[in-house]
Amino acid sequence: MSFTTLNGNIQRQPGLAPSALAACITLALLPSTSLAAPAEETVIVEGSAPAASSDEQDYSVKSTTAGTKMQMTQRDIPQSVSIVSQQRMEDQQLQTLGDVMDNTLGISKSQADSDRSSYYSRGFQIDNYMVDGIPTYFESRWNLGDALSDTALFERVEVVRGANGLMTGTGNPSASINMIRKHATSREFTGNVSAEYGSWNKQRYVTDLQSPLTADGNVRGRIVAGYQNNDSWLDRYNSEKNVLLRDCRCRFG
């Protein structure tokens, strides 16, 4: 057996010897194929800020400053809160503050006579009253007319049950009642007029008008006027009252 050994030099042409750098450049210049991301659809969000006025809210008030002074929903308030809106007062004919208290959860009443009552919550008499968030004080048994405050002037009534020292200062841990009056909020002329007739010669008239006072609506005015006269099942009893509210709002800038 014989073996033949072939000895020779194999030479490669310089143009056929690719280098690592040339390979990288070549790969970089090659058109790359990529999967294009699908075009995203345009999402349009329609909504509005929580209404601060009960004119824009029905039975459920979307947000309130009751209990915290911050605009929050009732779910986020760490206290028991009831809000009686203007719409509910109109539908259920809650025409006095006493009527509102009679239809508020967790509030009980002690009647002194035909017009004077005391209200209680959680075992204590309520003595924390506010008007537009400003604390005031009255004893409903001895201040004739306080319990008969006409709701034609109110946008809503807020009741915070339990201790509320953050808003009212010192006081018993019964509840606090905040009466929010109507304000000029509309940039257009709006209003309503109502008349009511009922038993015991009752007659009641309420006018609520608001209008811009300037062309741009930055100055607005509102007036609420009412009159009521009625007899009673009691002999020689007659009640007559007049209510009036005037409000002017200015916005600068």
* Spatial separation of the C-alpha atoms in residues 68 and 101, rounded to whole Å: 22
Neighbour count for residue 253 (Cβ, 10 Å): 3
**Taking 70 as the threshold, does the pLDDT of residue 218 lie above it?**
yes
Q: Name the CA dihedral angle for 205, 86, 181, 239, rounded to a multiple of 10 degrees.
A: 40
DSSP string, 182-226: -----SS-EEEEEEEEETTTEEEEEEEEEEESSTTSSEEEEEEEE
Tell me which of 76 and 154 has the higher pLDDT: 154
**Taking 50 as the threshold, does the pLDDT of residue 8 lie above it?**
no
**Taking 70 as the threshold, does the pLDDT of residue 5 lie above it?**
no
Nearest to 192 by CA among 158, 226, 237: 226
Average pLDDT over residues 13-40: 60
In sequence order, the 6+-apart residues with CB closer than 8 A to the CB of 212 are 186, 187, 188, 189, 219, 220
**186: its two tokens:** 């509309």
Average pLDDT over residues 74-89: 88
Phi, psi for residue 75 in degrees, rounded to 5: -65, -30
The pLDDT assigned to 133 comes to: 85
pLDDT band at residue 42 using 50, 70 and 90 as cut-offs: confident
The pLDDT assigned to 134 comes to: 85
Poorest-pLDDT segment among 36-40, 62-66, 149-153: 36-40
**36: its two tokens:** 């294009």
Phi, psi for residue 147 in degrees, rounded to 5: -70, -15
* Spatial separation of the C-alpha atoms in residues 77 and 79, rounded to whole Å: 6
pLDDT band at residue 6 using 50, 70 and 90 as cut-offs: very low
The pLDDT assigned to 152 comes to: 93
Please state the length of the chain. Answer: 253
Q: Are 91 and 97 in contact, with CB atoms under 8 Å apart?
A: no
Poorest-pLDDT segment among 8-12, 25-29, 217-221: 8-12
pLDDT 10s digits, 107-139: 998 888 777 888 899 988 888 888 888 888 766
Q: Judge if pTM exceeds 0.75.
A: no
* Spatial separation of the C-alpha atoms in residues 90 and 224, rounded to whole Å: 15
Nearest to 241 by CA among 122, 104, 95: 95
**Taking 80 as the threshold, does the pLDDT of residue 11 lie above it?**
no
pLDDT 10s digits, 131-186: 888 888 766 555 555 556 899 999 999 999 887 766 666 667 888 899 999 999 88
Q: Are 204 and 226 in contact, with CB atoms under 8 Å apart?
A: yes
Average pLDDT value over all residues in the chain: 80
Name, of 5-19, 62-76, 124-138, 222-236, the range with top average pLDDT: 222-236
